[in-house]
Amino acid sequence: MSMLTDPDMEEIVLGFTEEASALYEQLIEILEDYEDEPGQKKLEEFGQVIDRVMGAAKSIEAERTGNFCELGKTISYKASQSMDNELLNIVVAVLFDTVEILQKINKTIINQKSEDLPDINLDRFSTRLRWLSDKFQNIERSSVAIATPDAGQADQKSIDELLQSLGL
């Protein structure tokens, strides 16, 4: 049974949707601010806020929400290091769409305990996000991580191996 449909998790899932809803509003405000006055810090702030939703979403098995947040985070962090204004305009438009879709998914979690949106081709949208992320291939930093050469993403197993090698 998915956590989204688990009666024991109902309160936590509902709490998540309320929290996520407030953060989505915050994301929209950040993007609107960016449109009024573009600035790299705003895109980085977008990445930090969407990252907060991502961790909680994945923890309650809202996989689709978590994956869209992850892509949104990657794109916004990478975009925050880009000077390509034309591409940045596309980024902001796509991030607006991302938040709109996340808001719709949030409503279906509340009403139907699922993340399905039959009227929207989410796989196609996901492909669009990945395409956009690939446009920043030459930019390495995709998160709030402390930048170091050769640093990369790792799963829990790799992190455990690394910790072990560090004596923990």
Partner 1 sequence: MAINSYSNLSNFGYNSKKELGVVTMAFNPKQKILIIDDMSTMRKIIKNMLGKMGCDQLDEAEDGIPAWDMIQKAHEAGMPYEFIVSDWNMPGMTGLDLLKKIREDERFKTLPFLMITAEAEQSNVIVAVKAGVSNFIVKPFSIVTLKEKIDKIFP
Extract the tokens encoding 19. Answer: 């929290």
Smallest distance, partner 1 to C-beta of residue 104, A: 19
DSSP state, residue 7:
G
65-84: contacts with partner 1 (CB under 8 A):
66
Query: Residue 30, interface with partner 1 (CB under 8 A)?
Result: no
Query: Residue 151, interface with partner 1 (CB under 8 A)?
Result: yes
| CB 117, CB 105: distance < 8 Å | yes
Query: Residue 90, interface with partner 1 (CB under 8 A)?
Result: no
Q: Per-residue b/e over 116-127, b at no fewer than 16 CB within 10 Å?
A: eeeeeebeebbe
Query: Residue 158, interface with partner 1 (CB under 8 A)?
Result: yes
Query: Residue 119, interface with partner 1 (CB under 8 A)?
Result: no
From the list 35-43, 111-119, 123-131, 157-165, the region that binds partner 1 by CB under 8 A is 157-165
Query: Residue 162, interface with partner 1 (CB under 8 A)?
Result: yes
Question: How many whole angstroms separate alpha carbon 101 and alpha carbon 105?
Answer: 6
By CB under 8 A, name the binding residues for partner 1: 11-12, 15-16, 19, 48, 51-56, 58-61, 66, 143-156, 158-159, 161-163, 165-168
